[in-house]
Amino acid sequence: EAQVTQNPRYLITVTGKKLTVTCSQNMNHEYMSWYRQDPGLGLRQIYYSMNVEVTDKGDVPEGYKVSRKEKRNFPLILESPSPNQTSLYFCASTRWGAQGSSSYEQYFGPGTRLTVT
């Protein structure tokens, strides 16, 4: 079964305490990404990775880091969390169609609800 898993699902932490949210996919996709979802703002891309060791910033990368040492894993790292990073986070794994093709399949993880106090 195609699956994207995230851990933890819920996390309450304090300002400045480093944390990592893990993401893993079993579809051998090259492309993975992280989004945050906030009320009234919709999903916004934080970082993405086109393949192992290839990562780049999305629309809202400030305060976040990522790494892609293996194809299946794409952890999101908050070195010094702040209250404005309280949000619902989704990892996504994407299979793009051939170059120029309009097709893609995107699978989202179940989400991680993070609260920073």
Partner 1 sequence: KNQVEQSPQSLIILEGKNCTLQCNYTVSPFSNLRWYKQDTGRGPVSLTIMTFSENTKSNGRYTATLDADTKQSSLHITASQLSDSASYICVVSVPSGGGADGLTFGKGTHLIIQP
Interacting residues with partner 1 (CB under 8 A): 4, 31, 33, 40-45, 48, 50, 56, 58-59, 90, 92, 94, 96-111, 113
Q: Which is nearer to partner 1, 85 or 93 (CB)?
A: 93
CA distances from 79 to 2, 47, 58, 99 (A): 30, 15, 18, 36
Rg (CA), the chain: 14
**Shortest separation between residue 78's beta carbon and partner 1, angstroms:** 20
**Shortest separation between residue 94's beta carbon and partner 1, angstroms:** 7
C-beta separation of 34 from 46 below 8 A: yes
Single-letter residue type at 60: V
**Shortest separation between residue 5's beta carbon and partner 1, angstroms:** 11
